[in-house]
Structure 1
Amino acid sequence: MPQATSSQSTVSESEIEQAIQLGIARYFEGCRTRIPAFIDRHFHYPGAIETNRKALGWDMLRAPFNLLWAPVYALACLVKILVRHRAGPTWLYRLADHVPAGFTTQVQQHISDLILTDLLNDGRTGLLLEDYLVDALETVYSRHASEPVDRQRFTTLIEPLLADALSQYRITRTASADITNSISCTVLGAFAFQKFTPGGIGLGVVLASMLAKFMAARDFILGETIGGWYYSWFPPEPSLTTTAGVMVAIMAALAAIAALSGVISDPVQAATGLHRRRLNKLLDHLERDVSLSTQNSFRPKDQYVARILDMFDMIRSGLI
């Protein structure tokens, strides 16, 4: 943590550091006490409907692009982790670091604003953490003839950390939508087709096979009824064009639905404690980063879980 001010020699370094750590601890303790009310207000019904209503509009186009782009961004993040920990080439790290996370949807921005305003700043304007730090330091300085606390130094440190952490939190929205799609496809395949379809690709393969069977039976020389019986024993292989077309249609439909999937997934994640754990983790990382003056270390694992499910879907479907 940078020095709060050019204090006189009567104020020791240890007093300043102790006051800063006390202000940080008090601030984040207050943030954690606001988490349950924040979740109830914005992620349980009826708040979840209001939160995700922002998806109506351009998000219906942004969400499909984000879902398709998510594997590229997850790969870039993985490259950065490997390069950083294994001292790889710096050019590769810089290249991966410039890969964007995708379009920021209105729902993502809305939730980021809610976290910043309601959770981190308790509905106040300006940085509440800065107020805690200044109050703690002014308590120490009041015992000495020192100059006022320099707020600008805290703002310079805190604002980039908050911006990066909230950017990472927005990525979890895309990952959650992708995971919701995978689960929905699995349930739909199990109940509607008695098949294991762990994602859009698997569901597309099943529907392509059904479409190929229907078209073959319809054109069967002895009639559709006998054709249906015949192809139930000897199912035809769908053409590559049919399979690709059905997959594209399924993925497009799922991606469009993903824009509104939070109406279902947010209350479920709130009930199971996922939102609470994710927000607590966000605060834990922010507290550590502010205390140690490090770069943002909040890197949620949701996107990697989503990519593992995608990979399993491709393996199960025989594409890799």
Structure 2
Amino acid sequence: MPELSPDTDAALIAAARAYFAERRARVPGFVRERFGLRGTLRLHRHALGWDILKAPLNVMLSPVLILSRLAAWGAGRAGAPRIARWLASRRILLPTAVARATERAIVVDLLELPWDGPGRASERDALARAILANPTLARLVATRREAGAVSARALSDYGGTRSAVAEMTTALGTIGAGAVAFQSLTPGMVSFAPGLAAVLAQQAAIAAFPLGGLLGSAWYGVFPAVVSPWLTAGLTLGLVALGALVAAFAGVIADPVQAALGLHRRRLNRLIDAMEDAFTGEGRRGFAAREHYLARLLDLSDAGLAAIRLLTP
């Protein structure tokens, strides 16, 4: 790694900070254009394809992602930085077309850097212009060899947050549906399925009552129909698959809401902070994908409520 004088190093860092400050100034306009209703509809056109299959798989892989990140943190605390870096660099989630389109938009339109992925490269290169305006900035890039890898990992983790937010959006939908239909808390399809199975079993029993539907309603109002465990299991599997499918397009609703609440803006600023630290600091301020942990908490509460209802007579 080339050695730099303190004065030169300070100049390089100042030039890099100016570049990232310009990126932060572009965030509000970028969010309005890309994550408003029109922008997210354009973005989710990419979901019409293999994303429909990848979305359910990413739901199942999300716990593995959390475990790998926790293991990386533990290895770092235990004094094993190489293992920590290896674990942190693993890409667990399958890359979806929507996530790639989001990453491309961030790189090309927000960071104004050339896009090396699929598609046409941008002619705009803000970093190249900054280097030309201040050639010493090129030496900063040369002395921060791992900064590019750290930034790419942060960008990948940012793209992965979309699957977690989609899961949470679906969970909020089931909570609302459970509150209206069953007057109970249903933070996921697993806890929603038993209530739906009970309704279907009740309606089927009333329809099959030999003395007619009116007397059947009265009878099963006093003696509720027995719910088959096979019906509950089948509905659970079907609803989980449906929820994962819906998650592929949940961003159409989630993106405008997050934009209005400022969540997209704050998340992008955290991403830029992590990239800036990779180039100007010690690389310790990584991008934390907190949404995955919130999604897993919803999964645990969903499974816990379902277990309590199954065990409660």
The equivalences for 1:141-152 within 5 A come to none
Q: Which has the larger radius of gyration?
A: 1
Indicate the residue corresponding to 1:195 in structure 2. Answer: 184
For each residue in 1:133-188, what CA deviation from the matched residue of structure 2 results, as whole angstroms up to 9, or x when unmatched?
5644549xxxxxxxxx6587268444212211111001100100000011010111
Indicate the residue corresponding to 1:128 in structure 2. Answer: 126
* SS of residue in 1 equivalent to 2:295: helix
Percent identity, aligned pairs only, is 32
The equivalences for 1:51-70 within 5 A come to 51-70=43-62
Change (3 A) 1:88 1:134: same
Change (3 A) 1:308 1:33: same
Q: CA deviation at 1:222?
A: 4.2
Q: CA deviation at 1:131?
A: 4.7
Q: CA deviation at 1:318?
A: 1.6
User: Structure 1 residue 119 and structure 2 residue 110: aligned?
Assistant: yes
Q: Tell me the TM-score normalized by structure 2.
A: 0.85
Structure 2 stretches lacking a partner, 5+ long: 115-121
Q: Give, in whole Å, the separation in 2 of the partners of 1:159 and 1:97.
A: 14
Indicate the residue corresponding to 1:176 in structure 2. Answer: 165
Q: CA deviation at 1:248?
A: 1.0
Q: Tell me the TM-score normalized by structure 1.
A: 0.83
For each residue in 1:198-232, what CA deviation from the matched residue of structure 2 results, as whole angstroms up to 9, or x when unmatched?
11111112111112222333444544433333223
For each residue in 1:90-131, what CA deviation from the matched residue of structure 2 results, as whole angstroms up to 9, or x when unmatched?
98x699658642211100000001111111126854763465
For each residue in 1:213-259, what CA deviation from the matched residue of structure 2 results, as whole angstroms up to 9, or x when unmatched?
22333444544433333223332342221111001111111111111
Indicate the residue corresponding to 2:303 in structure 1. Answer: 314
Q: Give, in whole Å, the separation in 1 of the partners of 2:81 and 2:273.
A: 31
Q: How many residues align?
A: 302
Q: Give, in whole Å, the separation in 2 of the partners of 1:159 and 1:126.
A: 19
Indicate the residue corresponding to 1:104 in structure 2. Answer: 95
User: Structure 1 residue 210 and structure 2 residue 202: aligned?
Assistant: no
Change (3 A) 1:215 1:277: same
State the AA in 1 paired with 2:100: Q
* SS of residue in 2 equivalent to 1:298: coil
Moved segments of 4+, more than 6 Å? 88-91
Q: Give, in whole Å, the separation in 2 of the partners of 1:248 and 1:241.
A: 11
Q: Give, in whole Å, the separation in 2 of the partners of 1:47 and 1:14.
A: 45
Change (3 A) 1:154 1:118: farther
Contact 1:130 1:151 in 2 (8 A): no
Indicate the residue corresponding to 2:117 in structure 1. Answer: none
The equivalences for 1:41-80 within 5 A come to 41-80=33-72
Q: Give, in whole Å, the separation in 1 of the partners of 2:274 and 2:264.
A: 15
